[in-house]
Chain A
Amino acid sequence: MTDTKTTPTVPFQLGAILKLCFSVTIVLLACSLSWEAWPAAGALMAVVLAALACGRVRFAVLLRRLALFLPIMTLVALSIPLSQGFNPTWLKIAATVLMRGLISFLSGLWLIQVLPFDNLLLTMRTLRIPAVVVACLAMMHRYLFVLWEETDRIRTARRARRLGRVSRVADWTASIGLIGTLIIRSLDRGNRIHRAMLARGWDGHLRPWH
């Protein structure tokens, strides 16, 4: 995380609306580009990287995020030729998906670095983005941390019962089990949250509160 409180950088001085609009514009532009327009995509990528640099996003942080994102995005990009067959255009299609995803991801990463999440929600409300979208984001953010804590607890419990060295394969197998446990617990939690919402009058219609 960058030390943004003591030395405000250029992106922090921009208005929250401007930041959000900038990020959304980058995403929209990226999604409108095909592989043939790679020079434009390259220029867009340069703009995002410059923004990340201005936002003082550490290179190591950026690499860690990309290490998580790229394998998933590559699989998504390959899912199209895998489902439609490897015809002569498959590489272009996969590259286009990867390029759009990468620029959008970096743009999103920049946004969450320069705009605290609460401010982002507030800005979205100001821009009159549908309340249900804002509420979904708020709830996602709220329970993301709960999910993370849950993961941490399961990992700690696993470590506590792991004696001696464990092979990498065994570790991966255990991690798959962890993900399964997490999904089941998340579904259970989702049910409990829904019940708690119903108990306080939730009828499927969101009422904004300012």
Chain B
Amino acid sequence: MTHAVAIDVQELTFGYGGGPEVLRDVSFRITPSERVALLGPSGAGKSTLLLHLNALLPETLPPPSSQSPPPVTIDDLPATSEHAAEIRRRVGVLFQNPTDQLFGATVGRDVAFGPLHLDLNSDEIQARVTQALIDVKLEAFAERDTARLSLGERKRACLAGVLACRPGCLALDEPFANLDPRGRRQLRDILGDFSGTLILATHDLGLVRDLTDRVIVLDGGRLCADAATEVILGDDQLLERHGLVA
């Protein structure tokens, strides 16, 4: 079933543990299959926003009976405690540090973690693991120890783990950070082939140009700009103002 809006964020304000606000009154909508870059200086709130899209924040999600509607809606599902599992199934998150996301002893076992928790049958799990590893070009790595992978391989293994859950939306937090040129190219090609909704938090403007059609700029927790990629990347003053260029 297709939805008019894949991700709907309305007036999202959030601070960790009652501390200062990390996100302030952030609102935007993303349509299915749209490819959006999330730009902003370090500490702008990009990672925190991505965690909200996966119902990982706030720590205690509002109950379905909550008086005020939750600020995040995914495929018409409000981010309440009732829908958290389904939202996590639909939005796949790739975290900044791949070591945190690779908890299986071998690559194959790690990729199987998500499908196992979808309660699929054994054949389907195996098929998904195999396909996900082919998608990220790690088909020969199923039995490889996850502790013995290069950074690029670790990132691709993490992506395989996410893809094996067949999410409609990918939310990626700095996927190209610390990768060598070959690793960046490999990851770019994989993401280029993804047909679902893509949200990419990154500092790499070249890859933003290659992979996305729209850019949202966050700074100091506020949404500062939201326009087509060429418009944002063509605005030198805006990029300078928000610390997006050297």
Tell me if B103 is interfacial: C-beta within 8 Å of chain A: yes
B85 vs chain A, min Cβ distance (A): 7
B7 vs chain A, min Cβ distance (A): 15
Residue of B nearest to A198 (CB): B56
Q: 1/0 per position for A128-160, CB-CB distance to B under 8 A?
A: 000000000011011101100000000000000
- Knowing A192-B97, A192-B100, A207-B117 are in contact, say whether A199-B105 is a contact too (CB < 8 A): no
Q: 1/0 per position for B20-46, CB-CB distance to A under 8 A?
A: 000000000000000000000000000
B144 vs chain A, min Cβ distance (A): 12
B162 vs chain A, min Cβ distance (A): 7
Tell me if A121 is interfacial: C-beta within 8 Å of chain B: yes
A208 vs chain B, min Cβ distance (A): 8
A203 lies within 8 A of B85 (CB): yes
- Knowing A193-B100, A209-B116 are in contact, say whether A201-B105 is a contact too (CB < 8 A): no
The contact of A202 among B102, B117, B147, by CB within 8 Å, is B117
- List chain A residues, Cβ under 8 A from B102: 142
The contact of A196 among B100, B118, B146, by CB within 8 Å, is B100
B117 lies within 8 A of A203 (CB): yes
Cβ < 8 Å to A, chain B residues 88-122: 88-89, 92-93, 95, 97, 99-105, 109, 112-114, 116-119
Q: 1/0 per position for B213-236, CB-CB distance to A under 8 A?
A: 000000000000000000000000
The contact of B112 among A141, A145, A202, A209, by CB within 8 Å, is A209
Tell me if A58 is interfacial: C-beta within 8 Å of chain B: no
- Knowing A121-B105, A142-B147, A196-B101 are in contact, say whether A201-B112 is a contact too (CB < 8 A): no
For A118, A139, A145, A195, the residue with the greatest tally of chain B CB atoms inside 10 Å of its CB is A195
Tell me if A168 is interfacial: C-beta within 8 Å of chain B: no
B85 lies within 8 A of A199 (CB): no
Residue of B nearest to A196 (CB): B101
Cβ < 8 Å to B, chain A residues 162-210: 189, 192-193, 195-203, 207, 209
- Knowing A141-B105, A192-B95 are in contact, say whether A201-B114 is a contact too (CB < 8 A): yes
Number of interface residues of A (CB under 8 A): 23
A123 vs chain B, min Cβ distance (A): 14
- Knowing A195-B56, A209-B112 are in contact, say whether A201-B89 is a contact too (CB < 8 A): yes
B168 vs chain A, min Cβ distance (A): 15
A19 vs chain B, min Cβ distance (A): 19
- List chain B residues, Cβ under 8 A from A143: 103
B97 vs chain A, min Cβ distance (A): 7
| Bound-complex Cα distance A139 to B93 (A) | 21
B16 vs chain A, min Cβ distance (A): 11
| Bound-complex Cα distance A200 to B167 (A) | 10
| Bound-complex Cα distance A193 to B103 (A) | 8
The 4 A-B residue pairs whose C-beta atoms are closest, nearest first, are A201-B117, A200-B114, A207-B116, A192-B100
- Which B residues fall within an 8 A CB radius of A? 51, 54, 56, 85, 88-89, 92-93, 95, 97, 99-105, 109, 112-114, 116-119, 125, 146-147, 161-162, 165
List 26 A-B pairs, Cβ < 8 Å. A121-B105, A142-B103, A142-B104, A143-B103, A146-B99, A192-B95, A192-B97, A193-B100, A195-B100, A196-B95, A196-B100, A197-B103, A197-B113, A199-B88, A199-B93, A199-B95, A200-B117, A200-B161, A201-B85, A201-B114, A201-B117, A202-B113, A202-B117, A207-B117, A209-B113, A209-B125
- Which A residues fall within an 8 A CB radius of B? 118, 121, 138-139, 141-143, 145-146, 189, 192-193, 195-203, 207, 209
